[in-house]
Amino acid sequence: SQQGEEDPQALSIQEGENATMNCSYKTSINNLQWYRQNSGRGLVHLILIRSNEREKHSGRLRVTLDTSKKSSSLLITASRAADTASYFCATTSYSGAGSYQLTFGKGTKLSVIP
């Protein structure tokens, strides 16, 4: 079943601007990860934030997590043309009998215009 829901579905910005993508989810999670997918390629892991963390930084990336609202945001500052890609959030959760799932949202397609 669909867990993460990103918005917007598509985002177009000028190079140098900041890009913000949001992700909402439905069930309790252990952590949340953001991935990037360049067209036709595999997923690249960007950042992981645990359920007991509220904010995390990595270079030009800033991720927030609000477990009370079941939402997360990914901010890319000073965007570059090379940031053009689809961005997915993925939640990890442990269901019954120790089952573990990594569940993806539908993604936000980011276009950075030079």
Partner 1 sequence: GEEVAQTPKHLVRGEGQKAKLYCAPIKGHSYVFWYQQVLKNEFKFLISFQNENVFDETGMPKERFSAKCLPNSPCSLEIQATKLEDSAVYFCASSQSQKGVPEAFFGQGTRLTVV
Question: In terms of C-beta density within 10 A (0-12 exposed, 13-18 middle, 19 or more buried), how is residue 78 classed?
Answer: exposed
* Interface residue with partner 1, options 41, 54, 57, 80 (CB under 8 A): 41
Binding of residue 52 to partner 1 (CB under 8 A) = no
Binding of residue 45 to partner 1 (CB under 8 A) = yes
Q: How far is the CB of 48 from partner 1 (least distance, A)?
A: 6
Binding of residue 87 to partner 1 (CB under 8 A) = no
Binding-site ranges for partner 1 (CB under 8 A): 2, 30-31, 33, 35, 37, 39-45, 48, 86, 88, 90, 92, 94, 99-107
